[in-house]
Amino acid sequence: MDKKQVKVPEFDWKRIGDIEEGRKNLGQSLPVAVYRLMQFTVFDTLQAHYGTETAQEMFRQAGFSAGMAFAKNNLNLKAAFDAFVAELQSVLKTLAIGILRIEKSNADKTKLVLTVSEDLDCSGLPVVGETVCHYDEGFLAGVLKAYTGGDYEVIEIDCWASGDRTCRFSADKK
Ligand SMILES: [Zn+2]
């Protein structure tokens, strides 16, 4: 599937709803297992319908849409790069999504290597010998798009599921 042919509409953050109002007793949080159950069963369903590659690409697109909306609604997109990264790290940690580090970056930030430890999507999964964080690839590309306006190709190089202890992503501006 060519992703340029299918445009995923921009996510409207209002659809998240008023959680405080709606979940007065249960609140904002839920176990990671519930998130993973949802994510993996949706992936299995897409895979059964469309095959592995298309399911992975759909997860990337969904992640991209999420990353764009997340950045626009939670981060100061006008901040300088270091301040932007610091805020992104802080928000990702507060929301228990993962512990982000920028491992390498060139001067104009067109080539980055990022790591995410204790990743929501994969840390602790059985090792299957391949990377599985396609949603995260899209999410990071979406965050970078929202901040820089540029298109980045984000590829997961190392993953808990490929036998590493942290997820490592290369991000190259196209
Ligand atoms: Zn991973």
- Number of helices (H), then strands (E), belonging to the chain: the values are 5, 4
Token duo for residue 55: 């399911």
Cα(148) to centroid(ligand 1), Å: 24
- How far apart are alpha carbons 40 and 135 in whole angstroms? 11
d(CA 110, CA 148): 10
Report residues near ion ligand 1: CB below 5 Å.
122, 133, 159, 167
Q: What angle do CA 132, 140, 171 make, to 5 degrees?
A: 90
Q: Per mean pLDDT, which range of 3-7, 64-68, 81-85, 103-107 is the poorest?
A: 3-7
Residues 82-108: pLDDT tens digits? Answer: 999 999 999 999 999 999 999 999 999
CA of 164 to the centre of ligand 1 (A): 9
- Other CB atoms within 10 A of residue 42 CB: 15
Longest dimension (CA), the chain: 48
Residue 123 CA to ligand 1 center (angstroms) comes to 7
Sign, Cα dihedral of 139, 137, 99, 41: positive
- 33-61 pLDDT tens trace: 999 999 999 999 999 999 999 999 999 99
Distance 59 CA to ligand 1 centre (A): 13
Q: How far apart are CA 130 and CA 144, in angstroms?
A: 24
